[in-house]
Copies of this chain bind each other. A is one copy, B any other.
């Protein structure tokens, strides 16, 4: 393609369906396969969690850092708000780290923090703008604000067509859902 260039991409996975975090894990695996440096910061996952992805990351020697308390953000709770903002401080550090530190930074479920207006879109975009130019940043979660979609390079909406928990009363299963 004439004039095609390489640059760090801002990638958004949003929508109400499964696969937003899971596809971010897939990006992590693929990048890790190429010897790239990847980190994932998870806003909702409990700090003491031992999910499939945390176990996998440990085996692979990649960093997945849970920032949360296992809650689903209510938008009401001062404790959760300060936990999320503390998490964002760490995210900022990673996004702005020297070029050699990371090829890809994944901010899992960060859209909730913006959605509840604990964190302004302007601040997120400002930090993304100042990152090393070859760094990929992946942001996941429902309700991605339109301004983030406008700013991003690659946006996929995961739409739920059918879900067994909803439709058939089948339990969440290890290795699939978590």
Contact = CB atoms under 8 A, between A and B. Distances in A.
Interface of A: 1-7, 9, 11-15, 17-19, 21-34, 36, 51-60, 103-104, 136, 149, 152-165, 167-171, 173-176, 178
A75 B21 CA distance: 34
Question: How would you classify the secondary structure of chain A's contact residues: helix, strand, loop or mixed?
Answer: mixed
A171 B4 CA distance: 5
Number of copies: 2
Contact of A104 (B26, B29, B171, B175): B175
B22 A173 contact: no
B158 A19 contact: yes
Contacts of A33: 51-59, 175
Given A169-B3, A176-B9, A154 B149 contact: no
A50 to B, nearest CB: 9
A175 B34 contact: yes
A18 B171 contact: no
21 contacts: A1-B169, A1-B171, A2-B169, A5-B171, A6-B171, A7-B170, A11-B176, A15-B159, A23-B23, A25-B25, A30-B52, A30-B175, A31-B176, A32-B56, A33-B53, A33-B54, A33-B57, A103-B175, A155-B161, A158-B159, A159-B159
Given A25-B25, A27-B22, A34-B52, A162 B173 contact: no
A62 to B, nearest CB: 10
Contacts of A14: 161
Given A26-B26, A30-B175, A33-B58, 19 more contacts: A2-B169, A4-B169, A5-B171, A17-B156, A22-B30, A23-B23, A26-B29, A28-B29, A29-B29, A30-B51, A30-B52, A32-B52, A33-B53, A33-B57, A33-B175, A155-B161, A157-B158, A158-B158, A159-B159
